[in-house]
Amino acid sequence: GAVVSQHPSWVICKSGTSVKIECRSLDFQATTMFWYRQFPKQSLMLMATSNEGSKATYEQGVEKDKFLINHASLTLSTLTVTSAHPEDSSFYICSASGLAENNEQFFGPGTRLTVL
């Protein structure tokens, strides 16, 4: 099956710093990648959709200048949380599609971000 990896799996940073999270499709070319955020005890909330070589489309209420998304290749997308604050602490999950005819999304294992 299709494998999606995320790096790092967890990160702790100080308030005001920036953190970059990588999402890679290991064995297929992902034409579209999605970034989700999941707070404790809650469901996944879509943050943005990115297509390779295009600007990301952000969901309502998600600050595009704070959450920078780059999808420079068909196997890599990055999410940079700029000037992170404690309220940005969350579980960030990416998914990738492009393999299956039904546009099935394959999810990464997630990245736990803790901002002190």
Question: What is the binding site for other proteins (CB under 8 A)?
Answer: 4, 6, 32, 34, 41-46, 49, 51, 57, 91, 93, 95, 97, 102-105, 107-110, 112
- For 88, phi then psi, to 5°, come to -85, -10
User: Minimum CB separation from other proteins for residue 16, in Å?
Assistant: 26
Q: Which residue has the tokens 């600007």?
A: 55
What residues form DSSP beta bridges with 107? Answer: 95
Closest CA to 112 of 90, 95, 79: 90
Taking the C-alpha atoms of residue 84 and residue 78, their distance in angstroms, rounded to an integer, is 16
User: Minimum CB separation from other proteins for residue 57, in Å?
Assistant: 7
Indicate if the alpha-carbon torsion angle 14, 17, 35, 66 is positive or negative.
positive
Find the radius of gyration of the CA atoms of the chain. Answer: 13
